Amino acid sequence: VPAVTIAVDAMGGDHAPDEIVVGAAEAARASGVEVVLVGATDRLQTALTDAGLALGGTLSLVEAPEYVQMDEAPLAALRRKPKASIKVACELLKAGRVQAVVSAGHTGASLVAARTVLGLLPGVERAALAVTVPTATGSAVLIDAGANVDCRPEHLVQFGLMGAAYARVALGRDEPSVGLLSIGEEAGKGPDVVRDAHARLAQTRLRFIGNIEARDIFTGLADVIVCDGFAGNVVLKVGEGVAVLFEALLRQELMASPTSRLGAWLSRPAFQQFRRRVDDAERGAAPLVGVAGLVLVGHGRSSSRAVRNAVATAVQLVEAELVERTKRALSA
């Protein structure tokens, strides 16, 4: 079996390049994976040396002297910086030297670089970020999770088609159910854009189950939840915020008496297992579906573990031929 090669944007993310380099090097030790680190090679070499790591074998470098910072406007930044790491990584994919790109940097910059260098699949107007979220019964796909803030109804329909293609691969469902995020279950509930999208989704060949409320994202009512990128980002960030708040409040309460402190100590393995189930670092990154090439975006706060998992997810999606499947789902 020929190894899959993944380009990792080593300059993107709050802990870049050190955590990225360590995670990528760990991933490169897995069988069947080659990793190309893209960034300022002298800086990456220092990061590798500091971590006691070496190049060679399945880990290599490609020079990209510039990168897009988190507070830059992506379009202008990429025009100003033709050698930005995310752009160079996408060019490696375009040239066939790698099969996927992973970045924990600026989501908007990844989107613009992917769209400009690789283009979109036939008929796609907007690429979207498709993430998996934990539910009471397993996982669900949320699309768009933050790539497009202002959406038209036809974009939401495409998100439904692309999200279903991703759910077949990521959740292993043959006929994934698709729900539309709104503020009430009835077809007439929600903003104009959502009401229009509802009527259009009902005309597709998708297993469309109608509107679902945000509460039911986590009950596992739908395999795919369609929304614009603003709402999708709010869903993810509220989930994150509530998780952090709950742990903090629960810890305060558990520490308040000797009995509950003992209880908390005895329950530690359960808490650890619980944290693993809800931790988004487990998958590491989410694909920008609709792009004519596989580009994955990780959390800006990605740790080395998240990067390692992101590379593993990228390999799975290459092997599952996600891009080809998405293309077929859109043309059907």
Summarize as ranges the residues that interact with a copy of itself (CB under 8 A): 71, 73, 134-136, 146, 149-150, 181, 183, 186, 188, 190-192, 194, 213-219, 229-231, 233-246, 248-250, 253-254, 256-257, 259-260, 262-271, 273-274, 277-278
Distances (CA, A) of 175 to 141, 202, 332: 13, 15, 14
By C-alpha distance, which of 242, 239, 236 is closest to 297? 236
Of 229 and 284, which has the nearer Cβ to a copy of itself? 229
Spell out the residues 6+ positions from residue 219 whose beta carbon is closer than 8 angstroms to its own.
135, 136, 137
CB of 29 to a copy of itself, least distance (A): 30
CB of 285 to a copy of itself, least distance (A): 18
Of 233 and 326, which has the nearer Cβ to a copy of itself? 233
Q: Three-state SS for 114?
A: helix
CB of 244 to a copy of itself, least distance (A): 7
Q: Under a CB-based contact definition with an 8 Å cutoff, are residues 177 and 164 in contact?
A: no
Going by their DSSP bridges, the two strands 285-289 and 128-135 should be labelled as: antiparallel
For the record, the structure tokens of 281 come out as 């670092």
Of 32 and 184, which has the nearer Cβ to a copy of itself? 184
CB of 233 to a copy of itself, least distance (A): 4
CB of 223 to a copy of itself, least distance (A): 16
Of the chain, the end-to-end C-alpha distance in Å amounts to 31
Encoded amino acid at 63, one letter: E
Of 54 and 249, which has the nearer Cβ to a copy of itself? 249
Of 94 and 216, which has the nearer Cβ to a copy of itself? 216
Helix (H) or strand (E) holding 24: helix 18-28
CB of 272 to a copy of itself, least distance (A): 9
Of 199 and 262, which has the nearer Cβ to a copy of itself? 262
Other beta carbons within 10 Å of 199:
11
Of 54 and 250, which has the nearer Cβ to a copy of itself? 250
Q: Under a CB-based contact definition with an 8 Å cutoff, are residues 284 and 272 in contact?
A: no
CB of 147 to a copy of itself, least distance (A): 10
Q: Under a CB-based contact definition with an 8 Å cutoff, are residues 296 and 285 in contact?
A: yes
CB of 236 to a copy of itself, least distance (A): 8
| Buried/exposed code over 276-288 (b: 16+ C-beta within 10 A; e: otherwise) | eeeebbebbbbbb
Of 39 and 146, which has the nearer Cβ to a copy of itself? 146
